[in-house]
Amino acid sequence: MAAVHEKYLAPTSIIDADSKIIIDYAMSAIEDAEDHPISKAVRLYYAVRDAIWYDPYIPFYRPEHYRSSHVLKNGRAFCIGKAGLLCAMGRACGIPARLGFADVRNHLATRQLLDYLGSDVFAFHGFTEFYLDGRWVKATPAFNRELCRKARVTPLEFNGREDSIFQPYNEEKKLFMEYVNDHGTFADIPVDRIVDSWKAVYGAERVRQWIASFEKSAGKRKRKLEDEDWVK
């Protein structure tokens, strides 16, 4: 088992757990935690969930867009970048961590985001898995507390012992998230596979237009999810 976990502790060019900025932030997050992996993992989770704002309108087509140190410096990312950052911080603290991916149907997005995607499916949604007390435990740091308030969804908590995945209903008992397709787990972020999946779900031309827009604007954001109109 130790050999299996080696790849889930090792840094990569994307999950750069050996980056000084990652190590420093991770050590700061667990400073007052008990000397136990579960306690540390919980502290890391909240350091990513709320400090990094969820943002679906950022570049997505190159490995450097997902690099954990870049995500931390940028302070904004969508689910994959946030899951990757949490994975990197876990590895920096000696906790085996990997990425999981699934397609989810989002019933409570903003009108503008649904129009942008042309679909209510979030393809290749990313989450983190920590190896804690002899088993893999899911952690989903995607939506920060402020965004959850706007969407009328209870923020996802994480205790290190139970899977933390999107709840099916919001606070008003309306459909929220539905998992529709599991892509499995990975030691690193499979950027090419993600882009190919997005082309299949959203259409190659739509994805090409997104990339062209980012290239033209040098990656600058033109939208803010927090300012948009949530579907009621």
How far is residue 97's CA from residue 169's CA, in Å, rounded to a whole number?
A: 28
The CATH class, in words, for 2-227 is: alpha beta
The reported pLDDT for the residue numbered 96 is 97
Cβ neighbours of residue 53 closer than 8 Å, sequence gap 6 or more: 75, 76, 77, 144, 146, 147, 226
Task: List, as own/partner pairs, every contact residues 147-150 make where C-beta atoms lie below 8 angstroms and the sequence separation is at least 24, other chains included.
Answer: 147/53, 147/54, 147/225, 147/226, 150/226, 150/230
The reported pLDDT for the residue numbered 150 is 83
Domain edges within the chain: 2-227
Cβ neighbours of residue 189 closer than 8 Å, sequence gap 6 or more: 14, 15, 63, 66, 80, 84, 99, 126
Q: pTM for the full model?
A: 0.93
Q: Are 76 and 53 in contact (CB under 8 A)?
A: yes
Ranges of residues in the chain whose predicted pLDDT is under 50? 1
Q: What's the CA dihedral at 124, 130, 131, 136 to 10 degrees?
A: -50
Q: Using one digit for the tens of pLDDT, what is the confidence trace for 137-177?
A: 999 999 999 988 888 888 899 999 999 987 655 666 665 77
